[in-house]
Chains A and B, each alone.
Chain A
Amino acid sequence: MTDRPTNNEREELIADARGGAFDAWEAAELPLLMDILADPSTWAEPGAGLEEAIVHAVAEAEPTTKPARASAARRTPRRRRRRRLLVSALAAAAAIMAIVVATVVVTRGGTSPDYEARLTATGPAPGARGEAEITRNDAGFQTTLHAEGLPALRPGEFYQAWLKNAGGTLVPIGTFSSSEGQVTLWSGVSPKDFPTLTVTIETADNDQSSSGRRVLTGEVHAT
């Protein structure tokens, strides 16, 4: 595939079809239209099972389900006590499990990463390289990026890191302005599901989609 068309080139498709000059409102909304058309969310499709899931969910939510709850209220006091004891025991077990998990997470914090990636240069920055270590914790996925040789930024530009899945969906995980030292990024999605880490150059232009100006890319692997 060639480089992704620029926003200007994509806007020209609309302008040609429009067949006349844009008025002020149209011109103001053109970047938004471009953003939405380039957003994978716009083209995303729900799963085939969602309709049945919704039909099932609304059936559960129907007022007609209330008589079932009314019958539950007829339980004997002894059965209710047993039920409360069971619920209490399960809650206690869940609390203990949560403490154990939290302890493990805290203990592991800052020791060894769960994922790592070696990033290599793409066309615009042949001398660039980088390494990333990704650690899962209760906040999500903390990524420590060490990059060097990134191309100089022009005024108004910044670097942005992304995780991408096999379907091409990009999730931004943070921005930075210098490759001096290490950079900390945060992701709410798992590298297991979004295994490609890229760094692009972006401009503060109210367009939150990727510019496509990749300077680093690499695959994330579990350690």
Chain B
Amino acid sequence: MPTQSLQTYAPAVVASRRMEESVLAAFRRREASGIRALYREYGRLVYAVAHRVLGHHDLAEEAAQQTFVRAWQAADRIDVDRDPASWLATIARRVAIDVHRREARRPATALNDVPADDPALVSLPPDLDALDAVWHVRRAIDELPREEATVVRLQHLDGLTHNEISEQLGIALGTVKSRSHRAHQKLAALLGHLREVPHD
């Protein structure tokens, strides 16, 4: 795995806005403005990671809330000179896994009635290795211009072609292609670094 930081390789994608030191200092002092600023910067990333693990909106929100509470309780340990992304991502991952384990324990009794070798029984633990990658990709998407992110979403999530996107959005085919190309250039810059820890 490459050892260089993401910022070295993909500055356009991940050398994102860094929270101001004064905002982090406010968070460290546990001021309400600090938690709001941290949430607005990282709330969607935390939620995306939690949703990937838990696959359910309500549980993901619960995990996101716990993440920020834990961060808040440990606020005096935050380094105001560093982007808190890595720190927060680690907390989010651990909280989401804790919630997943709690939820996974619930069916244990009744599943005892099913033979252990029943081929219908499928265990789907979260892909822990992918969680940091989810964080990277979601952050890159959030930093795309809205119109480019929309095209990427329609292509990958909704499975539309360039022509279909052109019709749906009511814009020229060439515009769709150029937006798609620009967006995928930025996403391609993530490759080779998705398995690294979130940058700081």
| Residues of A that sit less than 8 Å from B by CB | 1-5, 10, 13-14, 16-19, 22-23, 25-26, 29-30, 32-47, 50-51, 53-55, 57-59, 61-62, 137-140, 168-169, 171-172, 174-177, 183-186, 188-189, 208, 212
Bound Cα distance A25, B114 (Å)? 41
Interface residues of B in 16-71 (CB under 8 A from A): 30, 32, 35-36, 39-40, 43-44, 47-48, 51-52, 55-57, 60-61, 64-65, 68-69
Residues of B within 8 A of A61 (CB): 69, 72-73
Q: Is the CB of B122 within 8 A of A174?
A: yes
The answer to whether A62 and B188 touch (CB under 8 A), given A139-B107, A139-B111, is no
- The residue in chain B whose Cβ has the minimal distance to the Cβ of A19 is B185
- Give A164 Cβ to nearest chain B Cβ, in Å: 12
Looking at chain A's contact residues, the main secondary structure is: mixed
Most buried by B among A43, A57, A171: A43
Name A33's contact: one of B1, B72, B185, B190 (CB within 8 Å): B190
Name A2's contact: one of B65, B103, B164 (CB within 8 Å): B164
Q: Is the CB of A50 within 8 A of B32?
A: no
The answer to whether A177 and B156 touch (CB under 8 A), given A29-B195, A37-B137, A44-B48, is no
Q: List 8 A-B contacts (CB under 8 A).
A: A17-B188, A29-B191, A33-B133, A42-B48, A50-B47, A57-B68, A176-B119, A186-B121
Interface residues of B in 65-86 (CB under 8 A from A): 65, 68-69, 72-73
Q: Is the CB of A5 within 8 A of B60?
A: no
Bound Cα distance A50, B68 (Å)? 11
Name B124's contact: one of A13, A46, A55, A172 (CB within 8 Å): A172
The yes or no answer to B117 lying at the interface (CB within 8 A) is no
Residues of B within 8 A of A189 (CB): 55-56
The yes or no answer to B110 lying at the interface (CB within 8 A) is yes
The yes or no answer to B5 lying at the interface (CB within 8 A) is no
User: 12 additional contacts, CB 8 Å, given A4-B159, A29-B191?
Assistant: A5-B161, A13-B184, A29-B133, A40-B157, A42-B52, A42-B141, A46-B47, A50-B39, A54-B64, A138-B107, A186-B107, A189-B55
Most buried by B among A18, A32, A54: A54
Minimum-distance CB pairs A-B, first 9? A139-B110, A4-B159, A17-B184, A139-B107, A26-B191, A37-B156, A41-B51, A25-B192, A58-B72
Residues of A within 8 A of B88 (CB): none
The answer to whether A51 and B134 touch (CB under 8 A), given A14-B191, A41-B48, is no
Residues of A within 8 A of B8 (CB): none
Q: Is the CB of A188 within 8 A of B107?
A: yes
The yes or no answer to B153 lying at the interface (CB within 8 A) is yes
The yes or no answer to B91 lying at the interface (CB within 8 A) is no
Provide the B114-156 mask, 1 if CB < 8 A to any CB of A, else 0: 1000111110100100100110011001000000000011011
The yes or no answer to B187 lying at the interface (CB within 8 A) is yes
Q: Is the CB of B134 within 8 A of A36?
A: yes
Q: Is the CB of B124 within 8 A of A41?
A: no
Bound Cα distance A181, B159 (Å)? 34
Name B120's contact: one of A18, A176, A188 (CB within 8 Å): A176
The yes or no answer to B181 lying at the interface (CB within 8 A) is yes
Q: Is the CB of B121 within 8 A of A174?
A: yes
Bound Cα distance A50, B35 (Å)? 12
- Give A89 Cβ to nearest chain B Cβ, in Å: 27
Name B65's contact: one of A57, A59, A172, A188 (CB within 8 Å): A57
Name B157's contact: one of A38, A47, A59, A62 (CB within 8 Å): A38
Bound Cα distance A47, B127 (Å)? 24
Most buried by B among A3, A32, A41: A41
- Give B168 Cβ to nearest chain A Cβ, in Å: 10
- The residue in chain A whose Cβ has the minimal distance to the Cβ of B130 is A32
- The residue in chain A whose Cβ has the minimal distance to the Cβ of B104 is A188
Residues of B within 8 A of A41 (CB): 48, 51-52, 55, 60, 134
